[in-house]
Chains A and B, each alone.
Chain A
Amino acid sequence: MYEVIMYDGGIYRSDELFELIEDVGGVVLLKNRSSQMLTVTMSIPEEDRPMVEAFCKEIGGQVRDVPLAGTEIAVIGPTLGRHHMPHPICDIAEYLRRCGAVTVVMGLARGRGKHTSQISLEETKIIDEYDACVFMLGNFKPCVETKAELLLSNINIPTVLVCGPVPEGIEGTCDAIVTGVGRKASRMREPGDRAKLEEVGDRVEEVLDDKKKAIEEDPPFVHPSEIKALLENFEPIDMCLRPAPLVMHLDGLRAKISYDEYHEQIENMEVYGRRLGDVCVITPSKINDSSMLIRIKSRSQVAYEDAEKAKKAA
């Protein structure tokens, strides 16, 4: 069994840490360097954890459990304006980041207002690219109820609604609700606020656990971390200067390089003796051409397609 942990410390002797991860058969999921500080999210065998932990402490770092590692979560507000965006949304995004998720903060183009609020099909499709989303609404019950119905009902990924009052009659629109966090003009620093952030983290973990269980019933043909390990040596990814050029999802990954330029090369790579293009669905991201989505087919889907090919050949 593999465990996901995060090293948080300096870059001193970090090359030895990477060697150790490789030696025990682990994988680096995410590496973020900021000046002399480094955070490394890694997946390592359960039995080697004490040794890796001891080494991290020896080089002056800390080790934390990261329940949301290997996921990409969108934190969404009705707009990017200062009425909606700052404080709770940024604090939630930062809290989820500390839990190991890669988070993206976004606002809708025309999400403001009660009667005039809307979400476009394109926005819905962009949101659907993520593993889960946290949708932040406001302080008024009638507004939350109207907008939850309007904005959330077409989203197809697990959704956690965060709002102020307790809404009624919107059970089918989201997977979990956290109440008591409305629009605020200050940071979430008080003990009550911190408890709310933890509650948001717990709800996100729960909805992702449900998704993981659903995926485990018919698991992907290969684990996303294996494709990540394969793509890390691909030169355009290696040369990519964007933070986290490869982001893992529960059933695939996002590669932050141009689809038009590189998708054929990626499709022709080999994994377990098969073309990557045969075991994955590679599509351009709806955001723009600068990233692509690699969704791994399930084992049954690959077996079915193999059977179909064999039938045709016969």
Chain B
Amino acid sequence: MAQDIGVTGTDQFGNDAYKLLYQEIMYDIGKLASVERSTIVLKPEVPLFIISVKMKARPSARKIGDIAATRAEKGVVYVSISDEMYAPGTLARLWEEYGRDNVQQTDRLDITVRGADTSAEVDSLEVESSEQPVREILGALWRVLPEGIRVRREFENQGVITVVATEEIMRSEFLEEGKKVEDAMVKGVDYRV
């Protein structure tokens, strides 16, 4: 959890609690390590909440070749998954491509596929789109924000995802502040209330 998290706001207890909450929720979804920097702005008296996250690298699509070792032998392709997180997605993708009759899960992480011509063909199948990690991070940020703060806007710029949230009416000054936070994140400078 050694990433840079800047929390700024008008309530010290809330700042500390939300920093911990943010860390725990991001850690839960396994994305804390892929985040380079985060800024959280908390103004409960308004109420206005802004969370901005800068990814270490722009997420790219994951293919079976990235998360598993494959080899072809006598018309059967053997898939050995190295990253367990993608096991259900891999099985579902192989079922979709080759049908349930041709895909057998011999072990928790081992799958045999009939009907594939080469292992390269299996390697090239996509198990996670490039949008999926962004979607998961947005879901986590929604979980961090208080439940009643339901009016939300999201924007993305150069690998920085920002969520601006308030309770009733999204005023233009809230969006402007969100943009300022985003600019600071893109430039890599601190943002303070």
Residues of A participating in the B interface, judged by any CB pair closer than 8 Å: 78-79, 81-84, 112-117, 138-143, 164-165, 182-186
Question: Are the CB atoms of A113 and B148 closer together than 8 Å?
Answer: yes
**Bound: A28/B148 CA distance, A:** 44
Residues of chain A within 8 A (CB-CB) of B95 are none
Of the candidates A83, A164, A184, which one forms a contact with B14 in the assembled complex, judged by CB atoms under 8 Å apart? Answer: A164
A to B CB contacts below 8 Å, 23 in the list:
A78-B147, A78-B148, A112-B146, A113-B146, A113-B150, A114-B167, A115-B47, A115-B167, A115-B168, A116-B148, A116-B167, A117-B148, A139-B13, A139-B17, A140-B44, A164-B17, A182-B13, A182-B14, A182-B17, A183-B21, A184-B17, A184-B21, A185-B20
Question: Are the CB atoms of B21 and A114 closer together than 8 Å?
Answer: no
CB distance from B134 to the nearest CB of A (A): 21
Report if A116-B17 is in contact (Cβ < 8 Å); known contacts: A140-B11, A185-B28: no
Question: Are the CB atoms of A81 and B147 closer together than 8 Å?
Answer: yes
Residues of chain B within 8 A (CB-CB) of A83 are 143, 146-147
Of the candidates A84, A117, A143, A185, which one forms a contact with B44 in the assembled complex, judged by CB atoms under 8 Å apart? Answer: A143
Report if A141-B28 is in contact (Cβ < 8 Å); known contacts: A116-B168, A185-B21: no
Residue of A nearest to B147 (CB): A83
Report if A79-B45 is in contact (Cβ < 8 Å); known contacts: A141-B11, A164-B14, A185-B25: no
Residue of B nearest to A141 (CB): B11
Question: Are the CB atoms of B148 and A183 closer together than 8 Å?
Answer: no
Q: What's the tally of chain B residues with a CB closer than 8 Å to chain A?
A: 22
Residue of A nearest to B26 (CB): A185
Residue pairs across A and B with CB atoms within 8 Å: the count is 73
CB distance from B115 to the nearest CB of A (A): 42
Question: Are the CB atoms of A140 and B143 closer together than 8 Å?
Answer: no
CB neighbors of A among B1-20 (8 A): 11, 13-14, 17-18, 20
In the complex, besides A112-B150, A140-B42, 7 extra interface pairs with C-beta distance below 8 angstroms are A82-B143, A83-B147, A115-B47, A138-B146, A182-B13, A182-B14, A184-B17
CB distance from A217 to the nearest CB of B (A): 40
Question: Are the CB atoms of B25 and A113 closer together than 8 Å?
Answer: no
Question: Are the CB atoms of B24 and A113 closer together than 8 Å?
Answer: no
**Bound: A115/B44 CA distance, A:** 11
Question: Are the CB atoms of A164 and B25 closer together than 8 Å?
Answer: no
CB distance from A136 to the nearest CB of B (A): 13
CB distance from B32 to the nearest CB of A (A): 12
CB neighbors of A among B98-154 (8 A): 143, 146-150
**Bound: A113/B148 CA distance, A:** 4
Report if A165-B146 is in contact (Cβ < 8 Å); known contacts: A115-B167, A143-B44: no
